[in-house]
Amino acid sequence: MAIRAILGTMTAIISFIGVGIGFFFTYIPWIENDDGTYSSINEANNICQNDLVALFASQECSDIESLWLAGNGCCGLSLIVLILSLLVIIIPSGRKETTIVSNKPDVSQKWIANCPQCGAQNVGSIEQMQGQIICGGCGVLHSPVSLEKYP
C-alpha cells in the first residue's frame, strides 16, 4: 500500500511537471521573431494554419507544427497520467478505509476478572461477567469489577 501511494504520488508529481512543461513550451511566448517580439508556439502555429506565411517559411511552419504537436502531446499525455495516478492514490485507500463495523459483541471473546477474595483469575464470556460469577478458586459469588481481555 505504502509503495503504491509513493509511486502514485511520484507519478502525479512528474506528470504534473510534464503538464507544466508542455503548457509553457506551447503557450508561453519564447520564440524570437525577426522584429524582436516573442511569440508562442501556439501563436506561431495559428499563423501557419491561417496561411499567413509572411513571417515563417514553410519549413519553419512544419517545424512549428511538430513542436506544437509535441508540446500538446506532452501536455495531454501528462494530464492523462496525472489523472490516472491521482485515481490510483485515491481509490485503493478509499476502499481500504471501508472497514466492516459490527455492533454485535464478540461472543467468542473471553474476559479475565480477578477474584476480590483470593485474587484468582476467573475467565468467562462478557455475558457471564456482566452478572455474578462464582470464583473458581475460593467459590465466592461476586460481580467482577475490572475486566481484562483474555488473549
Who's near 73: CB < 8 A, 6+ residues apart? 22
Q: Of 71, 44, 74, nearest to 60 (Cα)?
A: 44
- Residue nearer to Zn ion on the CB measure, 115 or 129: 115
Q: Which of 126, 138, 143, 150 binds Zn ion (CB under 5 A)?
A: 138
Which lies closer to Zn ion via its Cβ, residue 40 or residue 122?
A: 122
* Binding to Zn ion, residues 61-120 (CB under 5 A): 115, 117-118, 120
Q: Nearest approach, Cβ of 104 to Zn ion (angstroms)?
A: 31
The least distance separating Zn ion from the CB of residue 111, rounded to whole angstroms, comes to 16
Cα separation, 47 vs 135, whole angstroms: 95
CB of 135 to Zn ion, least distance (A): 3
3-state class (DSSP) for residue 40: coil
- Eight-state DSSP code of residue 142: E
Please give the helix or strand (H or E) that residue 38 lies within, else none: strand 38-39
Contact 31, 44 (CB under 8 A): yes
Q: Which is nearer to Zn ion, 92 or 137 (CB)?
A: 137
66 and 45 in contact (C-beta within 8 Å)? no
d(CA 111, CA 128): 9
Site for Zn ion in 117-136 (CB under 5 A): 117-118, 120, 135
CB of 119 to Zn ion, least distance (A): 7
Q: Looking at beta carbons only, is 78 or 122 nearer to Zn ion? A: 122
Nearer to Zn ion, 90 or 118 (CB): 118
Residues that bind Zn ion (CB under 5 A): 115, 117-118, 120, 135, 137-138
